């Protein structure tokens, strides 16, 4: 995990700018720049040989996150796919904490679960689903800043979770892919084989801010297929995102390598 800090010079410029705005900022606080920013990020490689959570352990993790985040938990306002439709293969979790100079600003929990879809395409590839989740919340309403001699308000500003597939794996479909703004419910769904009912069908609440999905086609960009689902805004409550990736991978080789990424940012305003 990395937690970079703003340089003192950058920080003092921000404080000076905020002080110069003075009373004029009262009517447009949303446009005032933050005086401090705390970030955290982590990446890991997921392979067939990696030590991951089994189905029972992952279900226990899901229950804990439901208690912590409510309808912003791993499955939003929905449920995990039925075992008659998919095969749970493994899950992975991580936690990020954005801190700056010893002060805790925000925390994010993230998970990815891999499911076999029991189907193959005409190219002989096995279809697999990756379920992505991340939820974040501020850890404090405010923190004391010695440089300005007062407390500053704390809010989430961004977080993201995503994956990069290996060169032998193709991203066949993903959801969501549209950029939308809250408040609203966001649906994440994938139909079953033959266009039947939804194998995955979940809604999650976008309470504020903007949802920012990003899809990259490795064939067009000379790299690997990838997907990111992120959020940006200025919010002092719980926010979550869900994403779904359907991929095609070799049916003859049990090996795969997927890189998983998560990041978090929170800021303080005068």
- Which 3-state string (H, E, C) describes the chain? CECCCCCHHHHHHHHHHHHHHHHHHHHHHHHCCCCEEEEEEEEEEEECCCCCECHHHHHHHHHHHHHHHHHHCCCCCCCCCCCCCCEEEEEEEEEEEEEECCEEEEEEEEEEEEEEEEEECCCCEEEEEEEEEEEEEECCCEEEECCCCEEEEEEEEEEEEEEECCCCCEEEEEECCCCCECCEEEEEEEECHHHCCEEEEEEEEECCCEEEEEEECHHHHCCCCEEEEEEEEEECCCEEEEEEEEEEEECCCCCCEEEEEEEEEEEEEC
- Residue spans per domain, the chain: 8-269
Give 116-148 pLDDT, tens digit per residue.
998 888 888 899 999 999 999 999 999 998 888
Q: What is the pLDDT of residue 193?
A: 56
Give 185-241 pLDDT, tens digit per residue.
999 987 655 544 457 889 999 999 999 999 998 766 567 899 999 999 999 999 999
Give 4-27 pLDDT, tens digit per residue.
444 333 433 444 333 333 322 233
Give 35-87 pLDDT, tens digit per residue.
899 999 999 999 888 889 999 999 999 999 999 999 999 999 999 988 888 99
């Amino acid at each position: 995990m990395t937690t970079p800090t703003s340089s003192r010079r950058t920080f003092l410029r921000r404080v000076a700018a905020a002080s110069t705005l003075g009373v004029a900022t009262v009517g447009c606080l949303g446009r005032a720049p933050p005086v401090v920013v705390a970030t955290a990020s982590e990446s890991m490689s997921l392979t067939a040989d990696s030590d991951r959570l089994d189905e029972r352990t992952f279900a226990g993790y899901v229950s804990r996150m439901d208690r912590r985040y409510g309808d912003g938990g791993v499955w939003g306002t929905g449920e995990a796919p039925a075992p008659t439709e998919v095969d749970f293969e493994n899950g992975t979790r991580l936690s990020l904490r954005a801190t700056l100079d010893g002060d805790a600003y925000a925390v994010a929990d993230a998970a990815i679960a891999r499911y076999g879809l029991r189907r193959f395409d005409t190219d002989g590839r096995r279809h697999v689903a990756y379920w992505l989740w991340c939820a974040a919340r501020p850890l404090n309403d405010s923190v004391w800043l010695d440089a300005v001699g007062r407390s500053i308000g704390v809010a989430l500003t961004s977080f993201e979770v995503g994956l990069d597939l290996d060169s032998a794996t193709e991203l066949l479909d993903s959801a969501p892919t549209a950029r939308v703004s809250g408040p609203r419910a966001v649906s994440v769904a994938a139909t079953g084989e033959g266009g039947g009912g939804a194998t995955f069908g979940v809604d999650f609440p976008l309470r504020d801010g903007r949802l920012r999905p990003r899809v990259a086609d490795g064939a067009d960009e000379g790299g690997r297929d990838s997907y990111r689902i992120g959020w940006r805004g200025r919010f002092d409550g719980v926010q979550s995102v869900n994403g779904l990736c359907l991929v095609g991978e070799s049916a003859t080789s049990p090996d795969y390598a997927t890189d998983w990424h998560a990041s978090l940012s929170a800021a303080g305003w005068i």
